[in-house]
């Protein structure tokens, strides 16, 4: 896989596929972590005299322009972080994109409108996707892939476009791949994994893979209740994927056979209703034993005893991978479990990786200094698929 060092970029238009898929509230960016992560590669190119054309997706528009998913607020924030104006093209490959790219001076940056405003970006038809990639290729001389959060997608700007231009990996992708290799090959032990989030079905494949690598696996979030049900416990009105109980029972048996320690909550913080995340008003939480959640209550966070247990299980780990919050961290009544895990990673002397997505958002929302962690990934889904052992289209395209 080539890097930017292998490209001659001065005076040339460089198409940078970044991942600027940030959460928006109206036109307000609520977490700019992915934009900040893209800045070093962009700045390195501009410092070398490149004319940088940045592109990204945002959200899930239906292949047509939708103002709710415009990248215009991102262009403004990117300009603030770079300390220079970022030209914004109001389309992806139309007249605005062509004139904006053609008008760039050395060392300057432009951002195209949301790639997913064009149906060709995500099309499953190779010809339609390829046609869009051809149009994107006409905007630049070179390609740099730096959107790690999208490399597990076979999309035009990620998979097809690199085949049409001389290409290299940006600094962010190089860093992400290096970190993930440390979690899959020659892992320093003890190796502890913390998995949370809403649905166990989202994590089945990675659990199966980690059962061959990890020394202990800690489970939290909504997915914990399917595990508790698999052990025969009642979970009240908690989130439950009943159809996944047999698979989870199989994983628990496999873990026992292989000597992998599976750690589940011993207590939970519950409430009658899911909290209002807009007002964040009191939710009347109660702490219950994890095996005694009655009908009418739902678990929304790991409890204080579980938080202490998990911190202890992480204290001696030489390597820690964490993906998924322990509860509804967006509400103060159900944030302490996630906070406890984050604090345990900060205090760890081992190599700690926060696996992107909601976990990365939680770290920032709860006010942790990102430098306290070994690495915070920009790609939750991509990280998980890499750990599953899948070949990721966007990485494969850069290796060719």
Active-site residue, selected from the candidate residues 145, 149, 171, 381:
381
Handedness of CA 354, 357, 361, 366 (dihedral sign): negative
CB 53 within 8 A of CB 116: no
Residue 316 assigned ligand-binding role: no
**Cα 240 off chain centre by:** 24
Residue 19 assigned ligand-binding role: yes
Residue 95 assigned ligand-binding role: no
**Rounded to an integer, what distance in angstroms lies between the CA atom of residue 255 and that of residue 274?**
32
Handedness of CA 162, 168, 170, 171 (dihedral sign): positive
Range list of β-strands (E), 57-180:
86-88, 109-111, 142-145, 167-169
Residue 21 assigned ligand-binding role: yes
Phi, psi dihedral angles at 6 (to 5 degrees):
-90, 0
- Catalytic residue flag (residue 199): yes
Q: Strand pairing partners for 17?
A: 55, 145
Reading the block at residue 139, the tokens are 């905007």
Active-site residue, selected from the candidate residues 17, 34, 129, 154:
34
Give the angle subtended at the CA of 136 by the CAs of 131 and 137, to the nearest 5°.
95
Residue 213 assigned ligand-binding role: no
Range list of β-strands (E), 184-335:
191-195, 216-219, 261-263, 267-271, 286-289, 298-302, 319-323
Residue 253 assigned ligand-binding role: no
- Catalytic residue flag (residue 196): no
Residue 359 assigned ligand-binding role: yes
Question: Could you identify the residue written with the tokens 């678990």?
Answer: 299
3-state secondary structure of 110: strand
Residue 222 assigned ligand-binding role: no
Residue 375 assigned ligand-binding role: no
Residue 7 assigned ligand-binding role: no
Residue 308 assigned ligand-binding role: no
CB 328 within 8 A of CB 355: no
- Catalytic residue flag (residue 236): no
Q: Strand pairing partners for 191?
A: 319
Strands 51-55 and 13-17: parallel
Active-site residue, selected from the candidate residues 357, 379, 380, 394:
357
Active-site residue, selected from the candidate residues 44, 199, 213, 364:
199
Residue 26 assigned ligand-binding role: no
Give the angle subtended at the CA of 311 by the CAs of 359 and 327, to the nearest 5°.
40
Residue 278 assigned ligand-binding role: no
* Full 3-state SS string of 156-209: HHHHHHHHHCCEEECHHHHHHHHHHHHHHCCCCCCEEEEECCCCHHHCHHHHHH
Q: Which residue positions form the known binding site for ATP?
A: 203, 299, 330, 356-359
Residues recognised as catalytic? 34, 199, 357, 381
Q: Which residue positions form the known binding site?
A: 19-21, 34, 57-60, 116, 153, 203, 299, 330, 356-359
Q: Which residue positions form the known binding site for (2R)-3-phosphoglycerate?
A: 34, 116, 153
Q: Which residue positions form the known binding site for substrate?
A: 19-21, 34, 57-60, 116, 153
């Amino acid at each position: 896989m080539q890097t930017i060092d292998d490209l001659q970029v001065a005076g040339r238009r460089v198409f940078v596929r970044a991942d600027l898929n940030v959460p928006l509230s109206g036109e307000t960016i609520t977490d700019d972590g992915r934009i900040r992560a893209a800045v070093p590669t962009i700045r390195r190119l501009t410092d070398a005299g490149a004319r940088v054309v940045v592109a990204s997706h945002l959200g899930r528009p239906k292949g047509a322009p939708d103002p709710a998913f415009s990248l215009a607020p991102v262009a403004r924030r990117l300009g603030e972080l770079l300390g220079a104006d970022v030209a914004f093209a109001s389309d992806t490959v139309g007249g605005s994109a062509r004139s904006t790219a053609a008008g760039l001076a050395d060392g300057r940056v432009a951002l195209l409108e949301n790639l997913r405003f064009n149906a060709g970006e995500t099309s499953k038809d190779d010809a339609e996707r390829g046609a869009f990639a051809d149009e994107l290729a006409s905007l630049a001389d070179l390609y740099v892939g730096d959107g790690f959060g999208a490399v597990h997608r076979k999309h035009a700007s990620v998979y097809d476009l690199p085949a049409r231009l001389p290409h290299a990996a940006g600094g962010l992708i190089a860093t992400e791949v290096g970190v993930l290799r440390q979690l899959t090959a020659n892992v320093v032990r003890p190796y502890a994994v913390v998995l949370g989030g809403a649905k166990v079905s989202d994590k089945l494949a990675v659990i199966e893979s980690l059962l061959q690598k990890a020394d202990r696996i800690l489970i939290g979030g909504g997915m914990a209740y399917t595990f508790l049900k698999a052990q025969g416990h009642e979970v009240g009105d908690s989130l439950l994927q009943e159809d996944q109980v047999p698979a989870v029972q199989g994983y628990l048996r496999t873990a026992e056979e292989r000597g992998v320690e599976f750690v589940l909550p011993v207590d939970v913080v519950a409430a009658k209703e899911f909290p209002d995340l807009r007002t964040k008003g009191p939710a009347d939480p109660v702490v219950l034993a994890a095996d005694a959640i009655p009908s009418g209550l739902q678990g929304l966070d790991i409890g204080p005893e579980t938080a202490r247990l998990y911190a202890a299980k992480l204290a001696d780990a030489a390597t820690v991978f964490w993906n998924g919050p322990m509860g509804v961290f967006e509400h103060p009544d159900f944030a302490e479990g996630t906070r406890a895990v984050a604090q345990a990673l900060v205090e760890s002397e081992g190599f700690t990786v926060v696996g992107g997505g909601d976990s990365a958002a939680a770290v920032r929302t709860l006010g942790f200094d990102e430098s306290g962690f070994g690495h915070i990934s920009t790609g939750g889904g991509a990280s998980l698929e890499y750990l599953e052992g899948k070949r990721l289209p966007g990485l494969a395209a850069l290796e060719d």
